[in-house]
Amino acid sequence: MLHFLERFSAFKKSRFVYPSRWPPGSSGTVEEDTGTPRETCDHVYQQGTEAPPRLIVLWTPFWHQWTSWGNIVQQRGRLREARCPIWRCEFVWTPESTLHRVAEADAVVFFSLDFFTRPLPPRHPRQLWIWLELEVPPMSQIATASWATAEKKGTFFNVTMSYHHLNHIMLPQGYLLPLNTPSHCPLLPTSHLNTSSAAFRSYSEHLARYDSLTQGESLRLDHWLKAKVLRLRNNSGRAFPQSHSRKAPGGQGNITETFRQNNVNNAAKKDENEKHNVEDSRGSTKLDNTINGNDEDERKFKTVLTEEEVRWAGRTQLAVWMASNCPTDSRRESVVAALQRHVKVTTVGKCGELTCGRNHMDTYCYRWLAASHLFYLSFENALCDDYHTEKLWLPMEHAMVPVVYGGARYRDILPFESYIDVAAFSSAKALARHLVYLANHPLVYLRHLQWRRYWRVRWPVPWCSLCERLHNPHPHPTHTTLNRWWNDTADCYEPLTW
């Protein structure tokens, strides 16, 4: 539950004010070297210096700690540095400063889990009272009970903040930012991938070219890449460093048995069957030349794949799952167990065999796992609308292909072909077979990582949207009810029964 907090370092001050402004936007039609048109930011309103700052009082503790707000404001409250289009907001959160300044606040934020840990302040008519929730209905029952009790006593909230898109302010855990976004553009967190953007159009065209090139050179390129990948895997050495308390399993090339058999036992037979059928534009070409990698092949195939992509395909492990919360409402641990009956899955955290870092949120852990694993099991602890966490974005940031299991509509937030959805498979065996197929066909596997040529993962600043709302001249909602906020909008689903 502390994942929202654990990414940040300690901070000891108790207020920030942002009095400056972003430079004006460009009408830009500049072309990048690749010929891809840049994204423009003309449609994003950028604030002038005449707007007075808005005061936001964080009234309750955050995860039972007042100092936790300092971490959040330090890392996700620097609105100007985060390129928020509207940044003139001030935050106060210590018990003394909030008590002293709550009367002048434009907004008062209550963290759901700590709502009743402190008496409510006097309410002023112009203030927005904001309910902040980070968990899904199966795990937020205590918080919703607090809301219901307050509602019976006449307390109401104007604005809700959560992961759900029907809330007034959505708090996505991550999103994809086009690489061709000009550096002067202000940024707002987005809940959906923009399929009309230049990046999405270019990506779609790129995948079509990728398919065309790989089909035209399919056998030669496939053999060339497999040979490169096999050399990488054979020379990789030990796949895991030692953990703090337990040694990682295996040694040299600890990979799925099926994966190993396909690579080793069947490779010679398959190559022998195919070597006489491989042809290029000049006529017959021996497979041996392709495997040895002559200069012409190297030059030709490097126009399709980068060295970095080849290294990604050469990772020696199949799949990894890292979690410390089990059992769960989604029964994700049962899905992992079903998958493990068919393939080897590396498990890390309190739910697994290995340990890494203090809380399994350390960036080091993902770098370590991404160095050797092709797939990451991005399994959420609940299957609810819109709900997805850092378990999706961290592996994507580190170039592992996510195998997703959750209630979100992944096609709305990710490019097509960038992920593998558990829901698309009828059984754990079918999913395992597909993962092994991709591991043994690196050209097909790398299709799932082509999105990285057009986007990067960005960690959003939730206060951007709140600050923008406080500066919005349109009327604010006057009253929202528990049913309207949560019970009638946040649907959850039954887990798989594999």
Kindly write down the DSSP assignment for every residue of 278-305, as one continuous string.
Answer: -EETTEE--HHHHHHT-HHHHHHHTTT-
CA 260 to chain CA centroid, Å, is: 30
Same domain, 252 and 353: yes
User: What angle do the packed helices 257-264 and 428-440 form, to 10 degrees?
Assistant: 40
Same domain, 255 and 369: yes
In a domain, 497, yes or no: no
Same domain, 254 and 353: yes
In a domain, 193, yes or no: no
Same domain, 410 and 479: no
The whole-number pLDDT of residue 360 equals 55
In a domain, 25, yes or no: no
Residue 404 belongs to domain with CATH number:
3.40.50
Kindly write down the DSSP assignment for every residue of 99-147, as one continuous string.
Answer: HHHGGG-SEEEEEGGGGGGSPPPPP-TTPEEEEE--S-GGG-HHHHHHH
The whole-number pLDDT of residue 201 equals 97
**Residue 386 belongs to domain spanning:** 198-458
Same domain, 426 and 346: yes
Note the helical H segments in 172-247.
198-216, 218-234
Question: What is the model's pTM?
Answer: 0.80
Same domain, 291 and 302: yes
Task: Name residues of the chain where pLDDT drops below 50.
Answer: 1-34, 237-293
Same domain, 421 and 335: yes
Same domain, 141 and 237: no
Same domain, 281 and 357: yes
Encode pLDDT of 340-392 as tens digits: 999 999 999 989 999 887 655 667 899 999 999 999 999 999 999 999 999 99
The whole-number pLDDT of residue 384 equals 95
Average pLDDT, the chain: 79
In a domain, 23, yes or no: no
Give every CB contact of residue 368 below 8 A, 6+ residues apart in sequence. 240, 241, 356
Give the amino acid at 460. P
Encode pLDDT of 248-258 as tens digits: 333 333 334 44
